[in-house]
Chain A
Amino acid sequence: MIWLALLLLQQPPLLDLPPANPYTSPADLEQGRKLYLGRCAGCHGPAGDGGKGSNLAVPVLPRASEDRALYTVIRFGIPDTEMPRSLMAPREIWQVAAYVRSLGRIRTDAVPGDPARGAELVRGKGGCLACHAIGLEGGVLGPSLSAVGLRRSPAYLASRLLDPSVDIPEAFRMAELTTVSGRAVSGVRLNEDTYSIQVRDLTGALQSFWKSDLVSFKTERKTPMPSYRARFTDSELQDAVAFLVSLRGQP
């Protein structure tokens, strides 16, 4: 809430924004594409189907179903996430917005695979819920999958199941540390400053340490998640992806 208040305070009035994007010509889209490739593609992927950033190649963007909301997200970013604000000129923001909208129109993924079988694999053989939550079930070591279908494209999900060590979110950086008394602790780094570090260890317990009480520590963007290259067959992978894509959060 404080973030929201801050955001509102720091924003100039947006009331004079037109309700619909005024820059949608082919030339605008082309300029928007160039701007997008420079400033957005690093996280959202050159095709907009996500990466470190969320999947933009969807018919409805969860945070920006209408144009003014999309403008606002690009202009001011999303607090407490890695989505930064932008200082582009208003026209440039609209051009990027127009291009982002076009991404969702270009492709709608017909996902092969059987979501029901995928659900069994995720809950059973895959062991995914040991670390991930879906609704009320599952663990907390990795990110929740409850609404993963809104944020990630099928292609991205498939590639991460095969190669999970790419694009580890900053909020899931792993810490490994050893105290002066010889205790070794691993877990997800929750916070860190010049003098201390806080982690959620592999059992889910919240722990805090003064750095001066540690003989060693390191944090890395890595994950304990295994690759499913050898664990799933190709068709099982398709089924798992089909299930994950269907996860759209609580109605």
Chain B
Amino acid sequence: MRILALALAFLSPLRAQVTYERMLNAEKEPGNWLTYSGNYSAHRFSPLDQINASNVSRLKVAWTYHVNSLQKFEATPLVVDGVMYLAEAPSNVTALDTRTGRPLWKYRRNLPDDLRVCCGQVNRGVAVLDNLVFIGTLDAHLVALDARTGEVRWDTVIAPYRSGYSITVAPLAVKDKIVVGVAGGEYGVRGLLDAYEARTGKLAWRFWTIPGPGEKGHETWAGDSWKHGSAGTWVTGAFDPETNLVYWGTGNPGPDWNGQVREGDNLYSDCLIALDADSGKLKWHFQFTPHDVHDWDAAQVPVLVQDVVRGQKRKLVLFPNRNAFYYVLDRVSGQFLLGKPFARQTWAKGLDDSGKPIRVPGTFPTIEGTKVWPSVAGANNWYSPTYSPKTGLLYVAVREAGSIYYFGEAEYKAGERFDGGGFRNIPEEQEWGAVRAFRPATGDVVWEHKLFTPPYAGLMSTAGDLVFGETDEGQFFALHAATGKLLWRFQAGGGQIRSNPMSFLSGGKQYVAVALGNVLYVFGLE
């Protein structure tokens, strides 16, 4: 009888389906990790506490999975009921058994050999909805796989890859739709954010991040520059079911460092956009860096919290921007509430009352080179911050560095790089980094854990009073969430760490997973 019940439970299609309701209530099933950032508010917080500040020193490798690629390994795996869905570079998916680490199925995509990617053939993860797993590909398709077999259910072209489009972002399942963005900011694409019907792969809505003729904002682009103005959407956003808005950061205007061919504010580049989840209509936008000439994409993860600002409890969105300013916006209206530097910066005297930067003259790129902080990679980048509802703190891996920015030619040719300049490190500058804990409403720093070099990987906080993070020197570590004290560390052999941690239960035991170098590590208590 018990066996029959188990078999029924296992076979029941309801059990296997990742419904929208389950994602809405992700907190009720802490053993799973159903969306890129763990929940729709993009907290990258695990409510699990088996691994905690008192026992994390006993954390050991449970199993590893080597990917068959030397590209940067940027993916956050998802875990659904004991199965891990892992995106692998360049555009592949593997389902792994979380108990043993053994593959269950593999999807391997044949890609053309004339891809246009600026920064490595990477992928940041998959989305799941019902019995489907979704991956965006470097040839700019969105593909739905059967979660049980890995077979292709549908395959939709998002945009022509030969024009410079690619997809590296993890899609986000919202209601019955899959929201997906594009990369291509160094190829002069016209940016877009799309939603597809999850069941059929049909386009539900499209938002062009650069307004066309006659649309509001079009006038912020000189001449025809809007046609190749970039503004990609390559980092997964957040969703608030109460406002019914999808929050998504947009990338740099193109060409990156030559602003002369695109005079104007260049909307909606370097913005946070808030779109109606059903229609894709723009509810509001906030532009962090108008007329950006430093490649400071607002391609960061927006973090949704509630807190008191200016004497009133509000629905907020927190945005530690690549341009080195920390922003707090009202996420219902888009109103700017607070902004201040959270790392060294030399390009703005400050922000005005509306949140617009007051630029320091002489900070634009030149042929001879212009020294500016933060660096081209920014004070923050695509990797994830984390918010712990337990401590009420926001944690960010901060980069302290500058760059020398160069102005260069920018002539658009379809499918070729369109960046108009370049950059280099500042000779003799001792770059460094830190994990910093911020009070969300004020941006005040509560503690910091200094890092020898600027990090390029994200954080996860847990109910076990832990913040997990990575150095750029090969280490994965755990800090005390309240104090920043180093509690545990693991050297994974150096090399590039370009990923974010996540946590899940398997067989009732908590594990922490993270991609280090070209290996997925899964850690557990002995």
Contact = CB atoms under 8 A, between A and B. Distances in A.
A43 B473 contact: no
A84 interface: yes
Contacts of A2: 70
A9 B71 contact: yes
Contacts of B425: 84
B473 A193 contact: yes
Nearest to B486: A195
B424 A84 contact: yes
Contacts of B406: 38-39, 88
B233 interface: no
Interface string A84-127: 10111101100000000000000000000000000000000000
B392 interface: no
A192 B423 CA distance: 25
Interface string A209-233: 0000000000001000000000000
A43 B427 contact: yes
A35 interface: yes
B474 A38 contact: no
Given A9-B70, A38-B368, A192 B424 contact: no
Contact of A35 (B71, B113, B367): B367
Contact of A87 (B421, B427, B428): B421
Contacts of B475: 193-195
B368 A86 contact: no
A166 to B, nearest CB: 12
B404 to A, nearest CB: 8
A147 to B, nearest CB: 24
A136 interface: no
Contacts of A205: none
A10 interface: yes
B473 A194 contact: yes
Contacts of A52: 427
Contact of B450 (A91, A192, A194): A194
Interface residues of A, number: 26
Contacts of A39: 369, 406, 422, 424
B10 interface: no
Contacts of B451: 194
Nearest to A35: B367
Interface string B393-417: 0000000000000101111000001
B233 to A, nearest CB: 22
Interface string A124-152: 00000000000000000000000000000
B448 to A, nearest CB: 13
Contacts of B270: none
Nearest to A38: B368
B489 interface: yes
A87 B422 contact: yes
Interface of B: 70-71, 113, 120-121, 366-369, 406, 408-411, 417, 419-425, 427-428, 450-453, 471, 473-475, 489
19 contacts: A2-B70, A5-B70, A6-B70, A9-B71, A10-B120, A13-B113, A39-B369, A87-B408, A87-B417, A87-B419, A87-B422, A87-B423, A88-B422, A89-B410, A89-B411, A194-B453, A194-B471, A195-B475, A195-B489
5 interchain residue pairs of minimum CB distance: A193-B473, A87-B422, A38-B368, A194-B452, A38-B369
